[in-house]
Amino acid sequence: MRDPYEVLGVNKNASMDEIKAAYKELVKKYHPDKYQNNPLSSLAEEKMQEINEAYDTLCKTHGGGGGYSGSQSSGGTTPELQQARQMINQGNIYGAEAILNKCSVRNAEWHFLSGMLSYRKGWYDDAVQKMQTAVSMEPSNMEYRQGLNAVMGTGGAYRNASAGQGYNSRDDLACKLCQAYICMDCLCDCI
């Protein structure tokens, strides 16, 4: 791996706030959403991976946020959230949903699990939104970022596969012909 300071574009004496600011700017610049349906998308993904690795390395060396280990969030988790995680892993989405709805704690772990729940239900946009919240609350948590990237990849593939089909297509010749026929029929009845 390249020098993490060089990857983030900060000097070796940078404070954790400067590192976070540089990281956020680079994430905005190379985020996969900006490169969807673009030939540079794979290059942007590689760059994002390098940025994430550099940021994680600097967080660990600066002690700013601690790494993620096991299946618990560095921000702390509750027994309820652990139980919800276990239910999601077992495929019991309705049981997990009931637990998450009762939780009073709305930390990064809650948002991540709620996003995973939405993903399992096929609600990709909701899943992305909740996982982005989790990542913004704990940017050094690799599980949250990897989950977000995986959901965005799946959701993007879903959206790309459906693009140009159905009622939202403006280039559908059959739809245009039907519209023309209906207009002609209306005009003929009026004359």
Give 75's pLDDT tier (boundaries 50, 70, 90).
Answer: very low
What superfamily in CATH does domain 1-64 come from? DnaJ domain (1.10.287.110)
Amino acid identity for residue 8 in this structure: L
The answer to whether residue 70 scores a pLDDT higher than 50 is no
Torsions phi, psi of 94, nearest 5? Answer: -75, -35
Q: What is the pLDDT of residue 74?
A: 40
Q: Which two tokens stand for residue 155?
A: 């959701």
Question: What are the structural domain ranges in the chain?
Answer: 1-64, 68-161
The answer to whether residue 104 scores a pLDDT higher than 60 is yes
Q: What is the pLDDT of residue 150?
A: 81
Give the percent of the chain with pLDDT over 90: 3
Tell me which fold the domain 68-161 belongs to.
Answer: 1.25.40
Q: What is the pLDDT of residue 166?
A: 41
User: What does the alpha-carbon distance between residue 103 and residue 74 come to, in Å, rounded to a whole number?
Assistant: 18
Amino acid identity for residue 16 in this structure: M
Q: In sequence order, which residues have a C-beta less than 8 Å from that of residue 114 and are 6 or more positions away?
A: 100, 130
For the ranges 36-40, 74-78, 124-128, 172-176, the one whose mean pLDDT is highest: 124-128
The 3-state DSSP class for residue 164 equals: coil
The answer to whether 1-64 and 68-161 have equal CATH topology is no
Q: What is the pLDDT of residue 72?
A: 35
In the numeric block, the tokens 């209306």 are attached to 186
109 phi-psi bin (left φ>0, alpha ψ -120 to 50, beta other) = alpha
Q: What is the pLDDT of residue 15?
A: 86
Of 62-71, 157-166, 171-180, give the lowest mean pLDDT range. 62-71
Give 48's pLDDT tier (boundaries 50, 70, 90).
Answer: confident
Q: Are 63 and 20 in contact (CB under 8 A)?
A: no
Give 12's pLDDT tier (boundaries 50, 70, 90).
Answer: confident
The answer to whether residue 22 scores a pLDDT higher than 80 is yes
User: What does the alpha-carbon distance between residue 102 and residue 112 come to, in Å, rounded to a whole number?
Assistant: 16
Torsions phi, psi of 72, nearest 5? Answer: -115, 145
Q: What is the pLDDT of residue 71?
A: 35
